[in-house]
Structure 1
Amino acid sequence: MAPRHQLVPSLGLASLLCSTASAAGPFLTQTGTQEWVFGNDLWNVSQGASYATKLYSTILPGEDLVGTAYGHYSDIDGATLVEYTNASIVASGDDWIDIAFESTDVDLHWVIFDDLQGAYHYMVNKATPSLEILRTLWRLNPDLFLNGRTNIKDDILPPFSLYANATEVQDETFELANGTVITKYDWSNFVRYRDYYGVYGPDVVGSWWIHPSTEYFTGSQLSQTLTVHRESSTGDSVQLNVFQDTSHFRVGAYVTPPVGKIWGPWLWYLNNGSKEDVEQRRAQELASWPYSWLNNTAYQTRGAITGTLTLSDGRPAAGASVFLGDTDTSIRPLVQGTNYYYTTQADASGAFSFPDVRTGAYGLYAWSDGGALADVYTNVTLTPVAVTAGETTALGELAWALPAGRTEIFRVGDFDKNASEFANGGLPYKFNVTSLSPANLTFVVGQSDVATDWYYASSALGTWTIQFEIDEAALAGYSANGSTALLSISLAGYSQSQAQNVDVNGVLLGTLDDDVLTSDPGLYRSSRISGEWRFIQYEIDPSDLVAGTNTIGFTITRFTEWRGFMWDSIFLEWQS
């Protein structure tokens, strides 16, 4: 028998393609040119140049968990397969080995422990091109992995038979004969709010991703991407692991990760399909992070940051979203993707903390997440912030400036960069809910309710009107001292090729269309919360307002199916 934790000489495929391997403990065996078998006493995988095409486990002895599906692979931007030219054991401990599969662009590591069903993965950048998406994924046996589960959705994957007579209306989105639509985007989620996700057969088998940290994910709290789905062309059960993504649900941006960047480690976990078991395993992983077995100085060297955010009117910034990202503030937090990133929410006193942060320089960003800050549309940016090994960087009290001389006339919706509070907004993801929004509506300030009378998105040709009152004395006073009104429009997303005119009492203020707004795919990819946030302001002369009843109008003049404007908040203020 071969020594433990060493490269095993070729034993031939026939002796290894079974529910357990012949080597004791974790092993790696080269079986041909760019062909390997590896695993432990509980599972083993057959790896080729790009695809791992066979997976056996003691959970289902003798059953190939890949079957006719494609198996495990990695790719760049969903198009360029990662090709492995060499594999070797690069580190080991008493009960584990670290196998590096080498390629031109990245090295993918499998860290295999004696008694673990599954393995830890991490990827190290060598020479990736400028990219939007980097991912690994399993495409597994559809006869075994019947269900998908995320922190939002837990359901049967659409049966493959449904796709036979369906019409593809966009990428992996199909309309059935009865008018219903199935789409992979209904399984999306916000990457920093995941617990665990995967595909499973209840009480039979499950394949799961557990990410104990989100430091290697791109973007801010509003970053969304794909998780699981049914592959329409083959029927494979797909378990996606998209950790680098500056494209889905936002205005895309290409980034070039630095050499040596580590994505991960995360845990790929196999079990009998029990969700309770995965929950327990996740708790164990959270308690173990950062992992002691990863012998990388930059990974192990960490510090912390603390601070308190206070608004200039004296309020604590309770519940604010706080993001630790790039020092380059010209890059939007939603598409920052070269560095490591951390998110948190301030507590009721405005205090926040970031433990276990990799050392280096960061930019700190904060914005309203609604609630007590629903009227706050300014933000905080502080850069650079240094994180030093073994130390806590105490930023103290940070001042959050509010615009001076502003008096609110009305506000529709909370400023939180999402559309959740409006009619039909929020979770779960669902395709084409925009079609349920009316073409015309009137929202009366002080009478109408945002939860029922203002919809999360406008799409159809027509006019949405906000009706509000201005006191005669107030109008005269503000006019006399030279004040103007300021209309602020906060959009949670915009998908072309929609166009709408904005007016006050019939006087055109401007046009919002793809000449001034770049499209994001949030609406047509099933999101009812956000795509990419935009903020537009129009100054209004008091002569365009009247004492008594006034209107702000939003008139859709160009319509494209499934597209439109996703709302966050609309403010009107006096500015002195």
Structure 2
Amino acid sequence: MKNLAVALVASLFANVATAVPAHKGAAPFLIPIDNQRWVIGNDVWNMTQGRQYGVKLHYKDRDCVGDAWGHYVSYNGAANDLAWTSASVVEKGEHKGVPFIDIMFTADEGDMHWVIFEGQHGAYQYFVNHNLPTLGEFRTLWRLDNTTFPNGRTAEKDGALPPLSDYIAANKVQDETWLAPDGKSYITKYDWTGWLRKQDYYGVYGNEVGSWYINPGKDDYNGNHAKQELMVHRESSSGDAVQLNMIHGTHFTASSSDVFPDGKMWGPWLWYLNDGSKPDAAARAKKEVATWPYPWLNNKAYHARGKVTGRLVLSDGRPAAGAAVFLGDNNPTKTPLDMGSTYYYTSYADAHGNFEFTNVRANTTYGLQAWSNGPPIADVYTTFLQNNVHIVTKEGHKSTTTHLGTLHWPISNRTRRLFQLGDLDHYSHGFLHGGAPHQHGLVSACPANLVYRIGRSQPSTDWCFGQTHRGNWTIEFFEEEEEKEKDQKKPTLIVSLAGYSSGASTTIWANGQHQIGNMTSGGGAPELQNDPSLYRSATAAGEWRLLEFPFQDVGVLQRGSLNTVTFELTQNTTWRGFMWDSIILEW
């Protein structure tokens, strides 16, 4: 083995411009070429790491990077690529008899680690923050050879990446979006968006090689259940196949600019190489889930974890069956989708309202939130919050359980509901086109004008998931009950939006002449902050928000006759507007 290692070093220094073919039986290694270039790898693969870019990825007798950019770490889009100032092996060890090394590349902002096992197809990676600025986007990624990796795969989409020849400059309509050569459809990287916490494995692949990301933990990601992000795409300027690891992403949020504590860790996740087989990658993903948190990682804080259990009961006595439950910031100042400074956990309540979180990082205080995820509590628009949920571990104990007991969730105490259009679940599910596969411009297929009759129309066919064209969307309903002296309260319209992309304004009318509110980004009240969901291919969710519009006059609604609530869109911008979750009118 010693002679083989000497031969490998000699081979590397003989030709420092390229990585070398794998040497069977070689232990994992880090070999410096000079103070700005290193070669890392094992007996299966190796890569030349430069000051910014990892290139010359040699695997299966080919260079998988070729003319592409290779591997790098960056923040705020491509504005800031991390520059590595040094590299060292910080740990050598064995796990189940297999040797590994932990290689640390150091930059001013923090440390990027590659944990390489002997015989491993790929490597585990993690990043430890030390001096990242306040930021929105932070990512690691591969840009790989476009002929070796012609296809992309996420948990939601699988197929060929568009050929570079289809990206015609004259057909560009917005950020990374082009009218296709057929003149009817669109090409955009945002169609490859996926739900971050639902990913099993994703990446790019061909007939001979596949490059995959597998992240079984997901507690290092920002956001909640509705977090969606870019996964793979074709780089429009070069044709590179892009495998994107958005470990802190903002592509579909209204705001997510965070300060990170020193020592915040993203990962480890597995970067996995194979022959392009999706069944093999799926099997490896299951194996990684079964072994997470990774026992080989020498980090006390990483392994200090506990469990949280509890039961949610609504104030009317019902269990909060199926509710989405979230462990996030304590005393939050941000929405769950926009949180991202530390670690975050998602779960769902069972039919009895019981929930649990496992492998929660301990010695931390969280805020517990919950909201309706649809039936059987699809009528509930209030959210639940309990602060000061503290997770501790005892010395010598692997984990402890924090029992929260029965938690009481206050819901609306208004006496009567006149109508509800759509289930409250924070998504556009149930409406026409709601929750369709990510597709650019789908909201344009929704009509400018429509009339929906409560009790007769159907949400899946008669109410579209989003409103973007100027026109009137009217809800018709009967109010049959006679007004009573003791029932002099004014009705309230509750509008739950699954998303909103700025550039559209709506005035809300009752019975055609009583203005009861407006929704706009143009300085009105309430003023809505933009999220990019509708113009970036989202069809199910962006940033959720709840708006309430009290009627100013108790006599606006007419008893015993047909009444209307109309959303008049008075200002529009292409592919922007309102994505619906639910609309409720209550006394």
Normalised by the length of structure 1, the TM-score is: 0.96
- Where does 1:32-181 land on structure 2 (aligned, <5 Å)? 32-57=34-59, 60-61=60-61, 63-78=62-77, 79-94=79-94, 95-164=99-168, 166-177=170-181, 178-181=183-186
Q: Is the 8 A contact 2:168 2:178 kept in 1?
A: no
Q: Distance in 2 between matches of 1:450 and 1:258?
A: 45
Task: Give the secondary-structure state (helix, strand or coil) at the position aligned to 2:413.
Answer: coil
CA-CA distance at 1:179 after TM superposition:
3.1
State which of 513, 516, 521 in structure 2 corresponds to 1:509: 516
CA-CA distance at 1:328 after TM superposition:
2.8
Q: Distance in 1 between matches of 2:366 and 2:3?
A: 46
Give the root-mean-square deviation of aligned CA atoms.
Answer: 1.7
Q: Which amino acid aligns with 2:92?
A: S
Which stretch has the larger CA shift, 268-277 or 331-340?
331-340
Write the deviation string for residues 81-138 of structure 1: whole angstroms up to 9, x where unpaired. Answer: 0100100000111310000000000210000000110000000001000000111000
Q: Distance in 1 between matches of 2:245 and 2:89?
A: 24
Write the deviation string for residues 416-446 of structure 1: whole angstroms up to 9, x where unpaired. Answer: 1111211011031000011111010000000
Task: Give the secondary-structure state (helix, strand or coil) at the position aligned to 2:483.
Answer: helix
Write the deviation string for residues 229-253 of structure 1: whole angstroms up to 9, x where unpaired. Answer: 00000000000000112x2111123
Q: Distance in 2 between matches of 1:324 and 1:494?
A: 25
Q: Is the 8 A contact 1:2 1:23 kept in 2?
A: no
CA-CA distance at 1:14 after TM superposition:
2.4
CA-CA distance at 1:481 after TM superposition:
2.9
State which of 255, 261, 286 in structure 2 corresponds to 1:252: 255
Which residue does the alignment assign to 2:465? Answer: 456
The answer for unaligned runs of 5 or more in structure 1 is none
Q: Which amino acid aligns with 2:205?
A: Y
Q: Distance in 2 between matches of 1:437 and 1:404?
A: 35
Q: Is the 8 A contact 2:493 2:583 kept in 1?
A: yes
Which residue does the alignment assign to 1:185? Answer: 190
Q: Is the 8 A contact 2:149 2:241 kept in 1?
A: yes
Write the deviation string for residues 390-424 of structure 1: whole angstroms up to 9, x where unpaired. Answer: 21000011101112243111000011111121101
Q: Which amino acid aligns with 1:198?
A: G
Q: Is the 8 A contact 2:414 2:586 kept in 1?
A: no
Q: Is the 8 A contact 1:21 1:44 kept in 2?
A: no
Which residue does the alignment assign to 1:545? Answer: 557
CA-CA distance at 1:164 after TM superposition:
3.7
- Where does 1:435-514 land on structure 2 (aligned, <5 Å)? 435-471=444-480, 474-477=481-484, 480-506=486-512, 507-514=514-521
Q: Which amino acid aligns with 1:513?
A: T
Which residue does the alignment assign to 1:562? Answer: 575
Q: Is the 8 A contact 1:4 1:25 kept in 2?
A: no
Write the deviation string for residues 311-365 of structure 1: whole angstroms up to 9, x where unpaired. Answer: 1111111110000011032221111111111100111111111111111111111
Q: Is the 8 A contact 2:378 2:425 kept in 1?
A: yes
Which stretch has the larger CA shift, 312-321 or 166-175?
166-175
Change (3 A) 1:21 1:34: farther
- Where does 1:80-479 land on structure 2 (aligned, <5 Å)? 80-94=80-94, 95-164=99-168, 166-177=170-181, 178-202=183-207, 204-245=208-249, 247-359=250-362, 360-389=364-393, 390-471=399-480, 474-477=481-484
Q: Distance in 1 between matches of 2:323 and 2:538?
A: 22
Q: Distance in 2 between matches of 1:23 and 1:37?
A: 17
Q: Distance in 2 between matches of 1:166 and 1:298?
A: 52
Task: Give the secondary-structure state (helix, strand or coil) at the position aligned to 1:434.
Answer: helix
Q: Distance in 2 between matches of 1:3 and 1:539?
A: 81
Change (3 A) 1:84 1:76: same
Which residue does the alignment assign to 1:12? Answer: 13
Q: Is the 8 A contact 2:306 2:400 kept in 1?
A: yes
The answer for unaligned runs of 5 or more in structure 2 is 394-398
Q: Is the 8 A contact 1:13 1:31 kept in 2?
A: no
Q: Distance in 1 between matches of 2:477 and 2:300?
A: 60
Q: Is the 8 A contact 1:305 1:393 kept in 2?
A: yes
2:554 is equivalent to residue 532 of structure 1: no
Change (3 A) 1:120 1:5: farther
Q: Is the 8 A contact 1:196 1:282 kept in 2?
A: yes
Which stretch has the larger CA shift, 223-232 or 160-169?
160-169
CA-CA distance at 1:17 after TM superposition:
2.3
Task: Give the secondary-structure state (helix, strand or coil) at the position aligned to 1:484.
Answer: coil
Task: Give the secondary-structure state (helix, strand or coil) at the position aligned to 2:213.
Answer: strand
Task: Give the secondary-structure state (helix, strand or coil) at the position aligned to 1:431.
Answer: coil
Q: Is the 8 A contact 2:256 2:340 kept in 1?
A: no
Write the deviation string for residues 172-196 of structure 1: whole angstroms up to 9, x where unpaired. Answer: 1111342321000000011111111
Moved over 3 A (4+): 1-6, 8-11
Q: Distance in 2 between matches of 1:345 and 1:328?
A: 21
Task: Give the secondary-structure state (helix, strand or coil) at the position aligned to 1:279.
Answer: helix
Which stretch has the larger CA shift, 13-22 or 177-186?
13-22
CA-CA distance at 1:18 after TM superposition:
2.7
CA-CA distance at 1:3 after TM superposition:
8.8
Q: Distance in 2 between matches of 1:343 and 1:253?
A: 18
Write the deviation string for residues 280-308 of structure 1: whole angstroms up to 9, x where unpaired. Answer: 10111011111111111100111110001
Q: Distance in 1 between matches of 2:108 and 2:331?
A: 29
Q: Is the 8 A contact 1:303 1:358 kept in 2?
A: yes
CA-CA distance at 1:166 after TM superposition:
4.9
Task: Give the secondary-structure state (helix, strand or coil) at the position aligned to 2:283.
Answer: helix
Q: Which amino acid aligns with 1:399?
A: H
Q: Distance in 2 between matches of 1:293 and 1:5?
A: 25
CA-CA distance at 1:22 after TM superposition:
7.9
Task: Give the secondary-structure state (helix, strand or coil) at the position aligned to 1:374.
Answer: coil
Q: Which amino acid aligns with 1:544?
A: V
Write the deviation string for residues 364-398 of structure 1: whole angstroms up to 9, x where unpaired. Answer: 11000111111000111011101111210000111
Q: Is the 8 A contact 2:432 2:463 kept in 1?
A: yes
- Where does 1:21-40 land on structure 2 (aligned, <5 Å)? 21=23, 24-40=26-42
